[in-house]
Structure formats: structure tokens, C-alpha cells
Amino acid sequence: VPVPPAAGPGGDVALGPAVVRGGAIDLSGYRPGGPAEEQRRSDAAVARALAELAALRRSATGGPGPVGAVLEAHEALLVDPGLIEAVSAGIAAGAPAPTAWEDRLSALGGELEAMDDPYLRARAEDVRSVRQRVLAALAGAGAPEDAVPAEGPPAVLVVRELDAATAATLDPHRVAGVVTLAGGDTGHGVLVARSRGIPVYHDAGPAAAAVAPGTVVGFDARARRFVVDPDESTRRSLRELSAARAVEAERVLATAREPGATADGHPVPVLANVTTPADAGRAVAFGAQGCGLLRTEVLFGHLDDAPSVEAQAAAFAGIAEAFAGRPVTVRTWDVGGDKPLSFLPAPDEANPFLGERGLRLMRRAPEVLRDQLTAICLVARDHPVHVMFPMVSTAEEVAWALERLDEASSAIGGRPAGMRVGVMIEVPAAALAVRRVAQGLDFVSIGTNDLAQYTMAAERGNTAVSALADARQPAVLDLVSRVCAEVPEGTHVAVCGDLAGDPAAAVVLAGLGVEELSVVPTRVALVKARLRDVTLAGAQDLARRALACGSAAEVRALLAGAAGAIPA
């Protein structure tokens, strides 16, 4: 897998002329005709938008999978009879086509943004993306993905937020980086861009909103530094930093294939979190020692009907093959909260994150879980595939899940030898009661994203409380430490939450006694390199100091100061 210079494992530096997108489309030159003419233009704009989306879907990253599903959702919106009728009614009543489209899509976007359901709120992003596409077509402007000029120095794209469709179509050779005004760090678009080696500076806010097209902007996302129209010496230092990161990337990649371990040889395998076979290939290229978390609800998130046992087994086998004999942990459906599945509708709840999520929802649909467990067991006969249950709160839930596993495996001749069974620890109750919850299990894997959300009572996707929902909160680290100390003898402790992908935090986790890490593919090599820079005693010392911190900010400062050869 080619790694673009200075990007790949944490390049995170960009400099270039700004291409500003997502602002108002210039319609000042638009001369409306009569209703018949406007209707014709509207139809032509829809046809062009659909053709653009179809072309994107045929592109390398827009095929089956999460990005393809986003593109399909955009297509579905453009052919939605209710929407088309409402736009036509507006045109018939005398509105120019751009006004009719803007009115309808702004109203729809506003309705979605006001929803309680985070999934529906996220759909507002799709509506805004479609709105830009249709208005660009009506204005005779280029398609959104053509905003970056084909010539000249690579540009820095400035967008309100980065949707997956756009992220999937950016050319890493033409786009030096992306700056978003809002939308957080873990949205799909940001993850897609980073996995394609494009540095992203997220939530730049008003400083970026005021940037005029063509102005040179630069950033170092690691240091959270964003500059507009930098002077020559700042430009030089950003270029040098970018070159230094490229050298670092090379050094890091050179040793990426070695097993994860501290300087004194204490093993800490570093695996990858993946959702697609393409991720799996990339993860192996970055040195992943297996897959510590396969998010099946994302892998199959685009389907309207539950995938059959055969379809699931084929997908799991494909990913296991990409990992070529390395272990792959398949997580059973983790539906609900911010992760809907159309074939497994979650109930309408006031607080979906506290409702029937993950394993809880499976108790309503045990046949859907049984099919998945059957597929996992079938693949586990030929590959080192393991199973993990999410969103566990009590030992009773674990017992229920293990009964379902026994049912599924005995129907096909018994549990495959070597298949390991574990649960996620992401609810504080499960962390506190790990002695009971993990009894008899082969492993637990701590989901620091949800553990932070539930420990701090701060929703993980809500930027207003993101400082609270930080896994570096001392209370969250305390729980991780407790899990390591109290887990039953013989049960391994892994971490697959995003905290493990922060190299300095990975050292703390190793020091706390975590035995295995699973991180985003592009972070594997960086995490390994950082672990190799410390001894186990050094990691334990850093962990002790982290536990003694009084706040997440103090922990962050400690980790930043603890930077060894690789700044986090």
C-alpha cells in the first residue's frame, strides 16, 4: 500500500493555497426563465448530479461499503418523489429552480438537525452535500469533487464539514490537507480522509471560516496549530516539519513489521480496528499483528436486509485472509446509539445511548445474533477468528451471550478449537465488576470511547462536552487500571478504543498492564515505534504519573511532555 509522503502514519502537516468549499454557491449570474424553462433546468441539474454520484460510486473508494452507502443515500434523496414534487410545486408557483431547491433542502436539513436521534441528525450532512451538488449544477459550476484545481501547488481544502463522499474522492496528490470548520475528529469523512493519507485539521472554527480562496494556509494537526497567510519563516518551518515527518514515517515504517514490544522486550502486540477488506490490507501494510476489533455493524451497515450466514462467513473469511494467519476478533452486532442498522431497527428511545444498544438489542432479535455467531464459528474452523460481545453491563448478560454461542456452535458440530471468546468493557459497571463479568472468558477488550462517555456522562459525539468525554480523564484511567488489576487470572486485557491509537497514551496503557492494543490502521506503526522507545518500567512510571493527575488537561500535558522520539 503506497503511503503518500508525510501523510500515512500521522503526517498531519499541510501547507497550500486554500480552496474554500461548502460556502454559498455563486448564483449571481443566474437568469431565471419561465416555469417550464426552470423545470427543465431543474431536471437537467438532477440528471447531472445523479451522473456525478454514479461516477463516484464506480471510483476506487466509492464501491460497496460505507462510502458507497453514503453515495447511494445521496442518490436516493435526489429521486425521492416527495422532494421532487415539492421542488416542482415551488417552480410552478414562480420560484427559480435554485430557490425552489434551496427552500426544500434547507427545510429538510433543518428538520433533520432538530431531531433527537443522532443518526437522523447526521443525515442533515447528506442533505447539505446534495444541496451543494444541485446548486453547483444549476449555477453551471464544477462538481464539488472538482473544486481542487488539477494544476499548481497542492491545495488545502477548507470545508464546513467533511462528508465521506467528498473524502473518498479527494486526490491525495492534489490535496495537501483538509481543514474542517466543525464536525469533530471521529466522523466518517475525517476517518476516510486520514486512512487515505490526507492530513485533516478538524474544528478550525471562525479562523478558517474567514479564509479567502487562494490564501495560503497551513497546519500541524498534531500540535493543533493552524495558520492563515503565514510569513516566509513559518512556511519554511512547516515545510521542514513536513519533511521531518516524512523521515519519521520512513523510520517508523522500516520497523513496522517487528512485533510490538517495549525497549526491553516486554511484548505488547499492536493490532488494528478495521471495517472492510481494504482496511485489512492497509492495516497489514502498516504492521498490524491482527485485527483486535472488526466492527461488523459498519461492514454491513449499508444493507437493507440482514446478511445471510453465508454472506457474513464470506466477508469474515475475506478479512481473515487479508490478515494472513494473524488473529481476527469479530465483534457481534453493536447496533444502536449512533450506529443504526436498517435491518435491525432500534426502538424509538429518548436516550438511545442508554437504551437497547449492542448486546441488549440482540435479546429482542436472537436469531440475528445466532446467524452471526454461526458465521463466525464456521470461519473460525479455518482461520484464527475470535468472537467479542459489545455493550456488556452484567455477568448475566455475558452468560446469556455464551448460551447463544453454545447454541450456534453446537448446531454446526461444536465450538472450533482455538476460538477465543471475550467481551468489551465499555460500561463502568462492567469495569467495576470485571471479576464477575470476565469469569471464564479468554479476553476482555476495553472500549475507551464508550467507557469515557458513560463514566463522564458526556455523549461522545457532542462537541459541547467533548472535553469531558475524553478517555484521558483520570476517572477513566482509574477504571482501566482497575480492570487490569482485577481481571480474573488467565483472562487477557486488550484496549480497542481510540485512546490506544495515541502513541503516548498507548505507553500509559502498557504501563497500566494492558496486554494488547488495537488501533486505527494508520496508527499501528507509530504506536509500535513509541512503545519501542520505552522500557516496561518507564511505561509503568508514566502510568503512575498519569493516574496521579488531577484532570484530563493535566494528563494531556503529561503525555505531550513525555514525547520521546515521536511527538504525539
Beta bridge mates, 445:
424, 494
Stretch that binds ligand PEP, among 245-253, 311-319, 446-454, 537-545 (CB under 6 A): 446-454
3-state helix, strand, coil in the chain (%, to 5): 50, 10, 40
523 belongs to the binding site for ligand PEP (CB under 6 A): no
Closer Cβ to ligand PEP, 390 or 416, answer by number: 390
Helices (H), 255-348: 277-285, 296-299, 309-322
CB 423 within 8 A of CB 441: yes
448 binds, among Mg ion, ligand PEP, none (CB under 5 to 8 A by kind): ligand PEP
- CA–centroid distance for 365 within its chain: 26
Could you confirm whether 496 is annotated as catalytic?
yes
Residues linked to residue 517 through DSSP beta bridges, in sequence order: 270, 495
Residue with the three cell numbers 463516484: 56
Which residues form the interface with Mg ion (CB under 5 A)? 426, 447, 450
Answer with the entry of ligand PEP, Mg ion, none that 470 interacts with (C-beta below 5 to 8 A by kind): none
The smaller minimum CB distance to Mg ion, of residues 424 and 568, is found at 424
Residue 496 is a binding residue for ligand PEP (CB under 6 A): yes
Residue 381's alpha-carbon distances to 236, 311, 537, in angstroms, are 56, 16, 39
Q: Using the minimum distance from each CB to ligand PEP, give the nearer residue, 35 or 497.
A: 497
Are the beta carbons of 36 and 129 closer than 8 angstroms? no
Grid cell in block for residue 213? 480562496
Cβ proximity to ligand PEP: between 191 and 216 the closer is: 191
Residue 352 interacting with ligand PEP (CB under 6 A) = no
Q: Does 450 bind ligand PEP (CB under 6 A)?
A: yes
Residue 506 binds which entry of ligand PEP, Mg ion, none, with Cβ cut-offs from 5 to 8 Å by kind? none
Residue (287 or 447) nearer to ligand PEP, CB: 447
With CA atoms as reference, report the closest residue to 425 among 401, 404, 396, 454.
454
Least Å distance, CB 453 to Mg ion, is 8
Residue closer to ligand PEP by CB (options 262, 445) is 445
**Chain centroid to CA 222:** 17
Among 8, 497, 501, 567, which residue sits at the site for ligand PEP (rule: CB under 6 A)?
497
User: What order do you get walking across the sheet with 155-159 strand by strand?
Assistant: 200-201, 175-180, 155-159, 13-21, 216-220, 225-228
27: Cα separation from own chain's centroid: 35
Using CB distances below 5 to 8 A depending on partner kind, what does residue 522 bind out of ligand PEP, Mg ion, none?
A: none
Closest approach of Cβ 256 to ligand PEP, in Å? 22
Catalytic site includes residue 74: no
Q: According to the binding rule CB under 6 A, does residue 356 interact with ligand PEP?
A: no
> Among 276, 289, 374, 449, which residue interacts with ligand PEP (rule: CB under 6 A)?
449
CB neighbourhood size of 188 (10 A) = 21
Among 312, 448, 481, 540, binds ligand PEP (CB under 6 A): 448
- Choose the contact partner of 497 out of Mg ion, ligand PEP, none; CB within 5 to 8 A by kind: ligand PEP
- Structural contact between residues 495 and 524, judged by C-beta atoms closer than 8 angstroms: no
Cα–Cα separations (whole angstroms), residue 487 to 437, 445, 500? 9, 11, 19
Q: d(Cα 499, Cα 546) in Å, to the nearest integer?
A: 14
Catalytic residue among 377, 484, 496, 549: 496
- Contact between 296 and ligand PEP by CB under 6 A: the answer reads no
Q: CB count, 10 Å around CB of 159?
A: 24
Among residues 22 and 292, whose Cβ is nearest to ligand PEP? 292
Span near ligand PEP by CB under 6 A; candidates 113-121, 300-308, 393-401, 444-452: 444-452
What residue type is 503 in one-letter code? P
Q: End-to-end distance of the chain based on CA atoms, in angstroms?
A: 24
In the window 129-188, what residues touch ligand PEP (CB under 6 A)?
A: none
Q: Which amino acid is at 186?
A: T
Q: Which listed residue (123, 295, 326, 383) binds ligand PEP by CB under 6 A?
A: 295
- Contact assessment for residue 157 and residue 21, using Cβ atoms and an 8 Å cutoff: yes
Nearer to ligand PEP, 192 or 496 (CB): 496
How far are the Cα atoms of 21, 29, 310, 324 from residue 306, in angstroms, in the given order?
37, 49, 11, 27
From the candidates 188, 302, 383, 386, give the one annotated as an active-site residue.
Answer: 188
Total count of residues recorded for the chain: 568
What's the min distance (Å) between Cβ of 291 and ligand PEP? Answer: 12
User: Binds 312, which of ligand PEP, Mg ion, none (CB < 5 to 8 A, cut-off by type)?
Assistant: none
Nearest CB to ligand PEP, comparing residues 102 and 297:
297
Are 36 and 552 in contact, with CB atoms under 8 Å apart? Answer: no
Which of the choices ligand PEP, Mg ion, none does residue 516 contact, using the CB cut-off of 5 to 8 A by kind?
A: none
Q: Which of 161, 163, 220, 334 binds ligand PEP (CB under 6 A)?
A: 334
| Region from 99-107, 214-222, 359-367, 447-455 binding ligand PEP, contact rule CB under 6 A | 447-455
- Cα separations in angstroms, 166 against 17, 70, 98, 281, 317: 19, 10, 22, 22, 30
Q: Say whether 16 sits in a helix, a strand or coil.
A: strand
CB of 490 to ligand PEP, least distance (A): 23
Binding of residue 289 to ligand PEP (CB under 6 A): no
Residue 246 or 512: the one with the smaller Cβ distance to ligand PEP is 512
Phi, psi (rounded to 5 degrees) for 109: -60, -40
Choose, by CB under 6 A, the member of 163, 426, 459, 515 that binds ligand PEP.
Answer: 426
Number of residues that bind ligand PEP (CB under 6 A): 10
Q: Amino acid letter at 306?
A: A
Which stretch in 130-138, 316-324, 442-450, 482-490 sits in contact with ligand PEP by CB under 6 A? 442-450
CA distance 19 to 462: 28
Residues making contact with ligand PEP (CB under 6 A): 293, 295, 334, 426, 447-450, 496-497
Which residues are catalytic, by number?
188, 496
